[in-house]
């Protein structure tokens, strides 16, 4: 204790010594400034900065968790599904894509019998399509059922035979072969569209679909191939004779096949057709059958010289 003499005696001065001692102790015993508090604060701030994005999540998470966004996504998906169903329904009205497997369900026996029926249909008696539980049986079980295998292969073979015919005459070129194929396809489409329009104008209630008409219209390629091959092998007289035979055969085939689809039950059974509507159906059947020989000659006559 430090005592100082004054007029009133000795007096104790502890306050200055205590403050000075504390200052002296801080300056004397600690050489460097204590930054542990600041460091911990900066480290905690750094941890907060690192944990901030993780806590907040990725930028699209708030969009996915937003109720309005979920509602908009659900509404958009429902509209897309409705649009897809509408397109499938409207497309199925004209081209039933789901039934395409039926038209290619063929085998070797069916193809052989069908080709014989197309070339020589005069001895065939039963032309009705067989049904099983209100659905037609597959073509491989019924020779009267329409198919797309023979028309498709017939079209491809016709294009190849046309290229062969052009090559034997030194007139072959890829452009000319493409014109030949495209013209045959365009005529086929126009024929099917004309038949559909005629059925609509005549107001015929029939179970014929667009693919059925496409199949029946494509059967003429078999006779066209026979005529062109005969002309290439034996000359122009053989072309005309074989084409004439195939034209008569396809005419009879179309008449006997389409009358069960277009005419009334009385006409299908062979009885006399009465009524203006039945007569229109008969004329339409005759017109479709008569158009086949015309197309057969139009698409093949220039290939034989």
Tens-place pLDDT, residues 133-178: 888 899 999 999 999 999 999 999 999 999 999 999 999 999 999 9
Q: How confident is the model at residue 95 (pLDDT cuts 50, 70, 90)?
A: low
pTM, whole model, 2 decimals? 0.68
Alpha helices of the chain — where are they, by DSSP H?
14-29, 36-56, 61-65, 67-94, 100-103, 108-119, 149-168, 174-202, 210-218, 220-234, 236-262, 265-268, 276-298
Query: CA 204, CA 200: separation in Å to the nearest integer?
Result: 7
In DSSP terms, which residues pair with 173 in a beta bridge? none
| pLDDT tens by residue, 37-54 | 444 444 444 444 444 444
Instruction: Report the percent of the chain where pLDDT is more than 90.
Output: 51
pLDDT for res 297: 97
In DSSP terms, which residues pair with 5 in a beta bridge? 10
R_g of the chain computed on alpha carbons: 46
Residue 223, C-beta contacts closer than 8 angstroms, at least 6 positions apart: 118, 119, 243, 246, 247, 249, 250, 296
Q: How confident is the model at residue 83 (pLDDT cuts 50, 70, 90)?
A: confident
Residue 138, C-beta contacts closer than 8 angstroms, at least 6 positions apart: 102, 105, 145
SS3 276: helix
Q: How confident is the model at residue 96 (pLDDT cuts 50, 70, 90)?
A: low
Mean pLDDT, all residues of the chain: 79
Q: How confident is the model at residue 289 (pLDDT cuts 50, 70, 90)?
A: very high
Q: Is 88 a residue whose pLDDT tops 60? A: yes
Query: CA 196, CA 156: separation in Å to the nearest integer?
Result: 25
Lowest-pLDDT range of 81-95, 151-165, 220-234: 81-95
């Amino acid at each position: 204790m430090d005592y100082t003499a004054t007029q009133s005696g000795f007096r104790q001065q502890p306050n200055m010594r205590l403050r000075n001692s504390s200052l002296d102790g801080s300056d004397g015993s600690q050489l460097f400034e204590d930054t542990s508090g600041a460091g911990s604060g900066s480290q905690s701030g750094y941890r907060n900065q690192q944990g901030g994005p993780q806590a907040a999540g990725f930028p699209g998470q708030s969009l996915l968790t937003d109720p309005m966004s979920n509602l908009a996504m659900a509404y958009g998906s429902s509209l897309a599904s409705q649009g897809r169903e509408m397109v499938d329904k409207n497309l199925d009205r004209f081209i039933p894509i789901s039934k395409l497997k039926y038209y290619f369900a063929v085998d070797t026996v069916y193809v052989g019998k069908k080709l014989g029926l197309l070339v020589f249909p005069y001895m065939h008696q039963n032309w009705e399509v067989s049904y099983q539980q209100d659905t037609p049986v597959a073509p491989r079980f019924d020779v009267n059922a329409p198919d797309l295998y023979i028309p498709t292969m017939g079209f491809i073979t016709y294009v190849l035979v046309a290229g062969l015919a052009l090559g034997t005459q030194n007139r072959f070129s890829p452009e000319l072969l493409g014109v030949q194929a495209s013209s045959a396809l365009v005529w086929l489409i126009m024929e099917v569209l004309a038949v559909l329009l005629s059925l609509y104008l005549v107001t015929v209630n029939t179970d014929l679909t667009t693919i059925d008409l496409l199949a029946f219209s494509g059967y003429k390629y078999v006779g066209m191939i026979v005529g062109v091959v005969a002309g290439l092998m034996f000359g122009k007289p053989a072309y005309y004779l074989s084409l004439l035979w195939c034209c008569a055969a396809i005419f009879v085939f179309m008449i006997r096949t389409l009358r069960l689809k277009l005419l009334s039950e009385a006409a299908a059974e062979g009885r006399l057709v009465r009524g203006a509507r039945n007569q229109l159906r008969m004329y339409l059947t005759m017109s479709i059958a008569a158009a086949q020989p015309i197309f057969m000659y139009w698409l093949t006559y220039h290939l034989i010289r």
